[in-house]
């Protein structure tokens, strides 16, 4: 409802795909088109029709950083989906569907970083945690890539981030900040995501 949205989709066995174009919440086109099996969703000109929202926007670079972080989080969480982020004609993110988290991390952050990650998998009492953590010898003081997900949705929790660092014990310097991509799976009934409007805080 706050963008120019275009959806193309074709399922196996269909001769033609369906094209739906929505501008500001109004469907302006629904027609048949040609494409390979699959689905593509494109969102353009976000908030073009919401002047009140535009008043609260920060600088272009600040908003672009926020958008890039969101798209990156989505790309890490949904490795079976391809993502593209284009800003003023420049391609900032472009990843095809991946077969593993390691492959997606390499596509997003480069092979040099990917080689320094270790796989994690642990289960106890109905809770499962898995993903990738930086090897101790690759942890430095620079700005780390830290991504936490619960049931595939991004969230932030200072206690968990602190616990992750504690897990390294004396293998990293006190100033070291490890990068990680960790997925926590819990019964949805055991969490409350309606703590903050941004939905980044979780109540367990």
pLDDT of residue 55: 74
Say how far apart CA 17 and CA 159 lie, in whole Å. Answer: 47
Question: Which residues make beta-bridge pairs with 183?
Answer: 130, 149
Helix ranges (H only) for 13-110 are: 51-54, 60-77, 101-109
Local structure of 94: helix, strand or coil: strand
pLDDT of residue 129: 96
Best CA proximity match to 151, nearest among 130, 133, 132: 130
pLDDT of residue 140: 77
pLDDT of residue 47: 83
- Contact between 68 and 55 under an 8 Å Cβ cutoff? The reply is no
Task: Give Cα 152 to chain centroid, integer Å.
Answer: 9
pLDDT of residue 91: 95
Task: Give Cα 124 to chain centroid, integer Å.
Answer: 26
Best CA proximity match to 136, nearest among 111, 118, 119: 118
pLDDT of residue 59: 87
pLDDT of residue 174: 87
Say how far apart CA 171 and CA 176 lie, in whole Å. Answer: 10
What are phi and psi for residue 168, nearest 5 degrees? -80, -20
Please tell me the pTM assigned to this model.
Answer: 0.84
pLDDT of residue 181: 97
pLDDT tens per residue, the chain (204 residues)? 999 999 999 999 999 999 999 999 999 999 999 999 999 999 998 888 987 777 777 888 998 999 999 999 999 999 999 999 999 999 999 999 999 999 999 999 986 555 689 999 999 999 999 999 999 988 877 778 999 999 999 999 999 999 999 999 889 988 888 999 999 999 999 999 998 888 889 999
- What is the radius of gyration, based on Cα positions, of the chain? 20
């Amino acid at each position: 409802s706050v963008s120019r949205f275009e959806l193309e989709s074709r399922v196996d066995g269909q001769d033609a795909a369906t094209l739906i174009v929505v501008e500001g919440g109004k469907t302006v086109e629904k027609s048949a088109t040609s494409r390979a099996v699959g689905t593509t969703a494109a969102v353009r000109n976000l908030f073009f029709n919401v002047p009140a929202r535009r008043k609260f926007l920060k600088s272009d670079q600040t908003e672009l950083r926020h958008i890039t972080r969101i798209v990156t989080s989505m790309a890490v969480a949904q490795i079976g989906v391809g993502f593209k982020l284009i800003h003023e004609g420049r391609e900032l993110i472009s990843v095809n569907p991946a077969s593993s988290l390691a492959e997606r991390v390499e596509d997003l952050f480069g092979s040099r970083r990917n080689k320094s990650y270790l796989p994690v998998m642990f289960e106890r009492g109905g809770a499962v945690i898995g993903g990738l953590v930086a090897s101790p010898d690759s942890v430095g003081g620079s700005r780390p890539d830290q991504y936490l997900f619960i049931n595939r949705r991004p969230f932030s929790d200072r206690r968990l981030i602190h616990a992750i660092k504690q897990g390294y014990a004396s293998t990293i310097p006190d100033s070291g900040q490890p990068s990680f991509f960790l997925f926590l799976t819990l019964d949805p009934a055991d969490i409350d995501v309606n703590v903050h409007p941004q939905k980044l805080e979780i109540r367990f």
